[in-house]
Amino acid sequence: MKYILQKSDPKISYLIAKELRRQEEGMELIPSENYASPAVLEALGSVFTNKYSEGYPGRRYYGGQENVDAIENLALSRAKKLFGAEHCNVQPLSGAPANLAVYSALLKPGDTVLGMDLSCGGHLTHGHPVTLPAKIYHFERYKTEEDGKIDYEKLRKIAKKVKPKILLAGFSSYTRKINYGAFKKIAQEVGAISLFDMAHVAGLVAGKAYPNPIAYFDIVTTTTHKSLRGPRGGMILCKKEFAQAIDKAVFPGLQGGPHENNIASKAVAFGEALLPSFRVYAKQVIVNAKILEKEFKKRKYHLVFGGTDSHMLLIDIVKSRGLTGKQAQDILDEVGITLNKNVIPYDLRGPMDPSGIRLGTPAITTRGMKEGEMKMIVEYIDRAFLASEKPRELKSIRKDVRDLCKQFPVYKKSK
């Protein structure tokens, strides 16, 4: 079976093999990326790709759904067990559609959402002006203080002033824990629905290494890849009182037939996350991130928010090494280390060439790398920045990165 594509479409087969080689020989530090297991990939490429299944288990439009229903019910039961949720919807195609479904279910055009500003660690889907939700609903934003902390009294005053229908917590580059209880109290005080986007930390929550927001928020959205190590997809967890509205918003409101091959793959990932070994993994993700923090601080790097409580770091690379975010990203691409440029709070530079870089540990931890390797990674990164105009030295670092990665294969060869 594995040689069919090679014969039928050698160009695509070549590019897939080339991408696998890039992943194997390089170091993935983008905190929103990870390596799905062979079992997750097998389910994703299964015959469920062939089946149309509009609707929900037991309530489909088409016939022939007995196996589809069993798969989706497994995904739902595993997800609810994993996070302790009352209700779950696994049909959202990704994190952005999941957030849009929540807005659609609970808001009328023009209603107000209060969420974290993108530059301070929020996400595009939390109301950035370029997005569709921002054209339909009214978004207000709160920011962190200069030291990276959230001033909850200030947030409370903003909430009382703008009276949001939804108070939104969650982030894409904020590295500190947030006070779930404070958000819940503010939401109750102003009569808002509380929403937490845990896309980045879902795997850490599943692995009991990071506080679970389910008991504090009315609704929690997430992706199923990132630290959760599943396929690229979305999911909504909520209290039962919101279940009907959210399910209707997903289908038929925003989506047609769900991608059941993806849902089968989600079910596999949830099953893996329920294993004791996943708790070990989640704990190591944070341990590794703290080692990166320590090693960067030793080298006088300027860590935004002062450090991390999770799986990722945000670094002001202009202050640290006199490079822009794009320059730093491009230099590291040359040596096989992949991270992403990123805006920082109150950034004076534009988003396409910002002042920061963002990096994290989910993928390299999946490969089995631990504290010793984290120290080596920081050394490689720092060497690359210092040798940015020395091709020979960059080539030497590239070899070091490749040699280290060979010791930790992404997918072990079957015997």
197 in active site: yes
pLDDT exceeding 70 applies to what percent of the chain?
Answer: 99
> Is pLDDT of 1 > 60?
no
Enclosing H/E stretch for 271: helix 260-273
Spot the catalytic one: 141, 226, 321, 358.
226
| 328 pLDDT higher than 80 | yes
> Which of 217, 247, 273 represents a domain boundary (last residue)?
273
Report the CATH number that the domain containing residue 368 is assigned in CATH.
3.90.1150.10
Q: Output the pLDDT for position 145.
A: 85
| Mean pLDDT, residues 191-218 | 98
In a domain? residue 412: no
Supply the pLDDT for residue 28: 98
Q: Is 52 a catalytic residue?
A: yes
Tell me: the pLDDT tens digits for 109-147? 999 999 998 888 888 888 888 999 999 999 999 999 877
User: Does 241 share its domain with 290?
Assistant: no
Tell me: pLDDT of 167 over 60.
yes
Regarding whether 210 and 141 lie in a shared domain, the answer is yes
Is residue 217 pLDDT above 80, yes or no?
Answer: yes
pLDDT of residue 414: 56
- Whether 201 is in a domain gets the answer yes
Within a domain: residue 32? no
User: 246 and 308: one domain?
Assistant: no
Mean pLDDT, range 191-215, rounded to an integer: 97
Is 370 considered catalytic here? no
Residues 264 and 330 in one domain: no
Taking residues 341-367, report their average pLDDT: 95
Q: Is 268 helix (H, G, I), strand (E, B) or coil?
A: helix
45 lies in some domain: yes
226 given a catalytic annotation: yes
91-111 pLDDT per residue, tens: 999 999 999 999 999 999 999
Q: Which residues constitute the domain of residue 151?
A: 41-273
Amino acid 2: pLDDT? 58
Q: Are residues 238 and 359 in the same domain?
A: no
- The position carrying tokens 């090693």 is 295
In the chain the first and final C-alpha atoms are separated, in Å, by: 17
| 252, 310: one domain | no
- Considering its fold, how many domains does the chain have in total? 2
Of 33, 72, 117, 197, catalytic: 197
* pLDDT reported for residue 120: 84
From the list 232, 283, 297, 319, the catalytic residue is 232
Can you tell me whether residue 55 is helix, strand or coil?
strand
CB 122 within 8 A of CB 171: yes
Beta-carbon neighbour count of residue 191 at 10 Å?
Answer: 11
**Active-site residue, from 24, 25, 54, 393:** 54
Instruction: Please tell me whether residues 161 and 262 are part of one structural domain.
Output: yes
Q: What is the CATH number of the domain that holds 72?
A: 3.40.640.10
Domain boundary among 229, 250, 273: 273
The 10s digit of each residue's pLDDT in 27-47 is: 999 999 999 999 999 999 999
Please list the alpha-helical segments (H only) found in 107-248.
132-136, 152-162, 180-190, 202-206, 243-248
83 shares its domain with 200: yes
Q: Is residue 396 part of a domain?
A: yes
Residues 204 and 164 in one domain: yes
CA distance 158 to 156: 5
Catalytic residue, candidates 25, 52, 140, 152 = 52
Statement: residue 293 has pLDDT above 90 = yes
Classify residue 411: in a domain, yes or no: no
**Out of 112, 125, 144, 223, which one is annotated catalytic?**
223
pLDDT digits (tens, 9 = 90+) for 252-276: 999 999 999 999 999 999 999 999 9
pLDDT above 70 (res 294): yes
The residue out of 273, 307, 328 marking a domain boundary is 273
